Amino acid sequence: MKLRYLLAGAVTIRAEGVKPESLLNELSRKEIDFTQARKEGPYVLTFATTRAGAGAALKTAARLGLDARVVCRKGLPSFFGRYKKRYILVYMPIILIFAVFYLSSFIWEIKIAGNKTVSEAEIRQALEEAGVGIGKNGMWLDNEIIRSKVLYRLKKLSWLTVRVNGSRALVIVRERRERPLLIDESIPTEICAAKTGVISKVTALSGNAAVKAGDTVLKGQTLISGKLTDRQGQTRLVRSMGEVWARTWYTKTLKIPLAYSAKAYTGREKQKTAVNVCNLRLNFYINSGISYAKYDKITTEKRPSILGFSLPVSIIRSIYREYEALPRALEENEAEELLKNRLLEWVEAETGGARLTEAAFDVAREDGWLAVSVMAECYEQIGETRYY
């Protein structure tokens, strides 16, 4: 059946009598639309027409001496007429559709992209103060006003824009690049030792080297002096420049217990469900307490969407899994390897990635604990600039 018949309503009529096809000729002459004409016998004819043409068809059939009656009604008018006294069934889908499109004009999901040093929490708080937040209308946002307010609050950002697509807001930020530190070469300085070590190499580009290879220096000791003396014995100060490489040493001890407790799940678990509607949380459980002595809590939140529009509804499920703490023993080889790796990571972090030339470990066991000590030798640049 054609779409317009379904929308405007279709009526199936059964006509009986002598020459029922004359009814179709008369309807065509009066330009009354009909379809699906079918002769079911020598004296029986059925066809479908619109609701508007049904009355004229019945009157024409009576004038021609035919017995005509309506046998079926289809289409949206007939469907709604069937439930005309059940207002909720008729109007609730319409209300829901309008509610979805109306609520989709509000922001229910915010994503932030482009940030590295500035946390999402800081950006979200600044956006909230600028009028961009969950439940805010996204149709009347002014990017210029939002950008100025957020950038005024967050000095580390240099640019920001908000792109709203339905109920989702994508916030793209660019962080400010720090200006390079300008060095005034007219200010006299010296290079001193940032760490204690044994000098391996001294490269003085400006100033006088105060140490040589093989010397042992302490932290804070002058390595390249900025004092220059001319032939007349007069001293003047310059800016020292250069590098000083040295062998340095680091020591540290870590301990780990050989007996520990491990989680063993019992298989018992509880699940609690809640629904967040327009930032209003509705709990579908009565007792919020958990009878388990020890448990893990896993919470997931899902937000459904229709045709790409995020609904202002999120389903929150929390699963509580009970476990028991059972004693376990750690193998000494495994514990030793773990501590050695941690110590090497500590040396790398402490030196800032200096070259490790040698590492000696000492392993000891005492009162159920395994202790590992490291003596690490590194090769690094220890000179740092200090003003006079």
The amino acid that residue 186 corresponds to is S
Range with the lowest mean pLDDT among 56-65, 124-133, 200-209? 56-65
DSSP 303: -
Are 160 and 169 contacting, i.e. CB atoms less than 8 angstroms apart? no
**Is 81's pLDDT higher than 80?**
no
Burial string for 135-155 (b: 16+ CB within 10 Å, else e) reads ebebeebeeeebbebbbeebe
Residue the block writes with tokens 């327009």: 278
> What does the alpha-carbon distance between residue 343 and residue 373 come to, in Å, rounded to a whole number?
8
In this prediction the pTM is 0.55
Confidence of residue 84 (pLDDT cuts 50, 70, 90): low
In this predicted model, what pLDDT tens digit does every residue of 222-259 receive, in sequence order? 999 988 887 787 888 888 999 999 999 999 999 999 99
Reading the block at residue 230, the tokens are: 């001319």
DSSP 294: S
Question: Which helix (H) or strand (E) element contains residue 59?
Answer: helix 51-63
Residue 324: phi and psi, rounded to 5, are: -115, 145
How much is the average pLDDT of 167-193?
A: 85
Helix %, strand %, coil % of the chain (to 5): 25, 45, 30
The amino acid that residue 144 corresponds to is E
User: In percent, how much of the chain has pLDDT > 70?
Assistant: 92
> What does the alpha-carbon distance between residue 129 and residue 3 come to, in Å, rounded to a whole number?
51
List, in order of start, the domains of the chain with CATH numbers. Answer: 3-81 (3.30.70.260), 86-182 (3.10.20.310), 189-247 (no CATH), 253-258+330-382 (no CATH), 260-328 (no CATH)
> What does the alpha-carbon distance between residue 245 and residue 380 come to, in Å, rounded to a whole number?
6
Residues in the chain: 388
In this predicted model, what pLDDT tens digit does every residue of 309-326 receive, in sequence order? 667 788 899 999 999 999
Q: Which residue(s) pair with 83 in the sheet? A: none
**Is 211's pLDDT higher than 90?**
yes
